[in-house]
Amino acid sequence: MADHFAEIKLAEQKSYNSIPFPWVLTPNSTTNLSFLTETIRTQKPFLESLLLKAGAVLLRGFDVKTANDFNDVVEAFGYEELPYVGGAAPRSHVVGRVFTANESSLDRNIPFHQEMALLPQFPSKLFFFCEVEPVSGGDTPLVLSHIVYERMKESYPEFVQQLEQDGLIYTRIYQEKDDLSSPTGRGWKSIFLTEDKSLAEERAANLGLKLEWMEDGGVKTVLGPIPAVTYDKIRQRKIWFNSIVMAYTCWKDTQNDPVKAVTFGNGSPYPEDIVYNLMKILEEECVAIPWQNGDVLLIDNLAVLHARRSSSRPRHILASLCK
């Protein structure tokens, strides 16, 4: 193990080909924040090698206490920031490159997904930070995307073949204002960071979205066909990369029907039973490590899907997105 880091094992971890998932590091000597950020700068190749192998790295036991501390850790890695344009999760800017994680009601689960997987511009890496750990629940489960692909291909080869052949079409109606009761309840003004419809249309076009304005001030968006399975060039393997589960479980309100929200690229609906069996596979393969104050979690967004377990308050998890 590189200088200043020690590997620890947790009961919740899994192992794939003798590689721990996620990789968990703790201080080998001092926990001082400035020492940590300097170590990140000097040991970045080592940390990236672990991320490449495992898909997720958890830093635990370091002196990271506040949003400002977390921002210092993110900046120490030196990755370029990705603006949150087009994403549907309600979140607020905190400081620097730090935002709140999804602000929807904590009594609701958020299903497995990759961040902004619907869009052509999605983050390659995600940082999460536990500012206040939940009293109970509130975990952020992780699952490897290539394992999900392999399980689905083994169980439903024809379904996966059609996914790879036809891709997906997503259809969603967004209101003007944010709805914090929904994990995907961001209004179009927040999604496109503007109240100007012309500018919203321009930014939507850059994301491949077609807009249709509604009489009540909302907007219908259509995206696709886009791939549901993609190829991880660095690791040289196919991965599950789509928002089928999110659409089926979260896109339901007075104007959105989950069955119509996501279809095959030819317009035909998905078999509902397969979607719910997919959810079972995600649960079987996932790892859920309870948050502790000060935890910093680095995720490769291609390699890993994440979710959120319901919890009671307080639970303060912050996030940062990187290109």
Averaged pLDDT, 50-58: 98
Between residues 262 and 294, the one the model is more confident about: 294
| Domains parsed from the chain with CATH numbers | 5-141+289-322 (3.60.130.10), 145-282 (3.60.130.10)
Residue 189 is predicted with a pLDDT of: 92
Alpha-helical (H) ranges within 23-128 are: 33-42, 44-54, 67-77
Q: Parallel, antiparallel, or unpaired for β 110-113 and 304-308?
A: antiparallel
For the entire predicted model, the pTM comes to 0.93
Q: How confident is the model at residue 252 (pLDDT cuts 50, 70, 90)?
A: confident
Cα(26)–Cα(177) distance, integer angstroms: 42
Whether residue 1 is predicted with pLDDT greater than 80 in this model: the reply is no
Whether residue 23 is predicted with pLDDT greater than 70 in this model: the reply is yes
DSSP code at position 92: -
* Contact predicate 7/1, CB 8 Å: yes
Cα(159)–Cα(274) distance, integer angstroms: 8
Q: Which residue has the tokens 């089928």?
A: 244
Residue 101 identity = A
